[in-house]
Structure 1
Amino acid sequence: MEAMNTGTRSITVGIDGSPTSLDAADWAAREARRRRLPLRLLHAGTGPAVSGRVPDVDVPAGRTRTALDRAAIQLSYAHPALDIIARRTGTPAVQALLAAAADTETLVVGSRGATGFAGFQVGAVALAVTARAERPVVVVRAGEIPEDERAPVTDGSPPESAPYLPVVLGLDAGRPADALIRYAFDTAAFRSAPLHVVHAWTRSEAYARGARVPGPENTAERGDGDGNGDGNGDGEGRALAGALQPWRRRFPGTTVREHVVQGHPGPHLLRASARAGLLVVGRETGAGPGRAVRSLIRHAPCAVAVVPHG
């Protein structure tokens, strides 16, 4: 399995005391365990800075435990083998999270931040951070639980023994991005989960690229096998297969399915996310997430990873 080489090896999560941020923190803890990385908890807001390493979180006599203290202690009990570092800063939330993102492998935030992040409106912090962060940002929806990442259990076995649901990657085969593809393959490999890659195209985009536009058949799927699949052999399918071929070789243990669909990506990815443990989408460095990505952050039923590239 290949590991990402993205600077400081850690997972960082923003904590504001809201239930959504605690759901995000638990997701981040599970991801840190999967990747065998330390977990950093960051609370941004006014007041004196307090830092500590968990499980030895020192709470001085006379000081009430903060939301950060409580989150750190809860996570240390739930994940006793995890190295957890808690830090509080008076820097405004978006600024603090963007600075943290530059020094971590993945930044995790809740989809609906409460008032703890300096009065930002619901969802504003997540959208602002995903638009500008230098590293991947995972937005975790409210109410996310560990079972949501795994296949349903029907035989009475423990939920944690169930296989992981697929990781879904939204990819433009005409503009493949190594950072985006690597993140998706890496994540699927750490979970031993299948990777489903969705390439949505429109006729106008295909004509602009000079690709041959297929006839009535508008959907093709390619499985593992020999790469020939059962698709219609159009240029879009070949472009996707070519973009993924070197990554299949690097991650031979990951089951990959390619889906070539006609239309705009948002609706197709939203449908795919209903059967996914994680949705991975990209944005070009220096540009904010497009309308489709913003809609997926708001409406996808699973966590969404937004990966800057280019």
Structure 2
Amino acid sequence: MRERRYDMPADLVALLGPHRHGGHDPTWQRTGDGAIWMTSRTPDGPGTLRVTRHGGQAWGAGATWLLDSLPGLVGADDDVSGFVVHHEVLKGFGVPRIGRSGLVFEALVPAVLEQKVVGREAWRAWRHLLRKYGTQAPGPAPEGMKVMPEPEVWRQIPAWDWHRAGAEAVRARTIATAAWHAAKLEAAADSASLDRLLRALPGIGVWTSAEVRQRCFGDADAVSVGDFHLAKIVGWALTGEKADDAEMMRLLEPYRGHRHRACVLVGLTGLRPPARGPRLSARDYRSF
């Protein structure tokens, strides 16, 4: 076990929550003592990280890498200069920090699984695949925690296991193709370079690239254009009317350089358009 003392920001859940994919994510847990546990497959190997208000503890081959990356993960080096709140409704919430994991493929796989489906469907697939193909979390991690498998494992998952997970062939093929290019993606020098590399791959567009770059590079300007809910929420919060993607980007233009940060701030307001009609249900076409 390795340890690093570090004064953490007040709201760890808000900072680390974007790396969680559903309430039963095998790579992310919050325990009763308030600690947040996360697993990662780092460049040095698998590791488990436990984060509290006082710093971090880590286990496994990736322990040193995880502790060295801890300040970036909690947004300590996030550059908030130039961010100015232009809408009255967003004032009084402070300036949200955006953390970065430094791990591309770890952010990419769940983002692809979340393409064009409801969250419950994507999270079910993520759990199924991690529980079957993930490796045991190093150290005294909470029961059931797993480390996501290496890219070559994702390339070899058979079609029937993708089907059992509830992920159709298109998303499976996108992840398998990206796995062939994982080393090049991980070596991207910055968010703009990663965007070009990601969007050159079949099945990866603006939304997926933004979701990955937000988490991997802490890109405060990467807006998830194409999200089913985001434009409506941003429009409602800032104007009282639902918006489409084009109108959302017009509303966010004063925040250029920090447009994702502005979206996070919108989320903190809790403002949502009224729900109409039944909620979308998760599809389940698996056969057992």
TM-score by length of 1: 0.27
The structure with the greater share of residues assigned to strand is: 1
The structure with the greater share of residues assigned to helix is: 2
Larger radius of gyration: 1
TM-score by length of 2: 0.29
